[in-house]
């Protein structure tokens, strides 16, 4: 037996020291969050680094596809906690591109806008405000496109099985094919 081995009794645990980090978030997310708060004020609740599996359910498949995947920021209505939109701070690289595409697909399918910003430290209040303007100016008589997040307009079908029914279509149509039924956000 070696002379350098120290056998501690089983009930003795080594002392652990805890320290408070200087910041809760990295500098980029922290600065973006400060500027986003200036834009939305107290109108929405802002949650950061939310796991997708906390708010998305995959029908007919395993939710394991979402394990470990997060959205940078999630905005919710203050009174109802309903999700308004997601904000993705995109990093560069091949994995980041795949993550970005997956997030776009998820948000399109849950019919909520996704706003994407580069993962840089100098995004201004004005840039954030301009990009998320569609959700800031929403009213019961307006909708935001589930595909691109821009404003939608109401139209009425003139032919086909839905003739006479109204629906929402993206203002950017035909370049964006976002469509929603009336009464569905």
- pLDDT classification of 3: cutoffs 50, 70, 90: low
Say which DSSP state 43 is in: S
Give strand pairing partners of 85: 75
Q: Is the pLDDT of residue 73 over 90?
A: yes
* b/e sequence 101-112, b meaning 16+ C-beta within 10 Å: eebbebbbeeeb
- pLDDT classification of 131: cutoffs 50, 70, 90: very high
- At residue 64, the 3 state secondary structure works out as helix
- For 9, 33, 46, 127, the CA distances from 38, given in Å and listed in that order, are 55, 9, 12, 12
Q: Is the pLDDT of residue 76 over 90?
A: yes
| pTM attached to this predicted model | 0.65
**Helix, strand, coil proportions of the chain in percent (round to 5)?**
25, 25, 50
pLDDT at 184: 46
The least confident of 95-99, 100-104, 121-125 is: 95-99
Cα 31 to Cα 161: distance, rounded to the nearest angstrom: 50
Residue 97 Rama label (left phi>0; alpha psi -120 to 50; beta): alpha
Contacts of 58 (CB under 8 A, 6+ apart): 65, 66
174: preceding bond cis by omega (within 30 degrees)? yes
Model confidence pLDDT, tens digit, residues 49-67: 999 999 998 887 776 778 8
Q: Is the pLDDT of residue 148 over 70?
A: yes
Higher local confidence (pLDDT), 182 or 117: 117
């Amino acid at each position: 037996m070696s002379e350098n081995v120290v056998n501690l009794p089983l009930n003795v645990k080594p002392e652990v020291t805890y320290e408070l980090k200087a910041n809760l978030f990295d500098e980029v997310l922290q600065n973006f969050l400060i500027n986003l708060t200036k834009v939305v004020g107290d109108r929405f609740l802002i949650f950061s680094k939310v796991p997708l599996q906390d708010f998305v359910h995959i029908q007919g498949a395993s939710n394991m596809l979402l394990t470990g995947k997060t959205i940078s920021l999630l905005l919710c209505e203050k009174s109802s906690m309903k999700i308004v939109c997601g904000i993705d701070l995109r990093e560069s690289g091949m994995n980041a591109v795949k993550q970005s595409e997956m997030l776009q697909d998820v948000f399109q399918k849950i019919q909520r806008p996704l706003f994407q910003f580069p993962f840089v430290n100098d995004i201004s209040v004005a840039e954030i405000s301009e990009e998320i303007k569609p959700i800031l100016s929403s009213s019961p008589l307006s909708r935001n496109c589930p595909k691109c997040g821009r404003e939608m307009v109401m139209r009425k079908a003139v032919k086909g099985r839905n003739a006479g029914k109204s629906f929402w279509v993206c203002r950017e149509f035909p370049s964006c094919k976002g469509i929603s039924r009336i009464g569905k956000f």
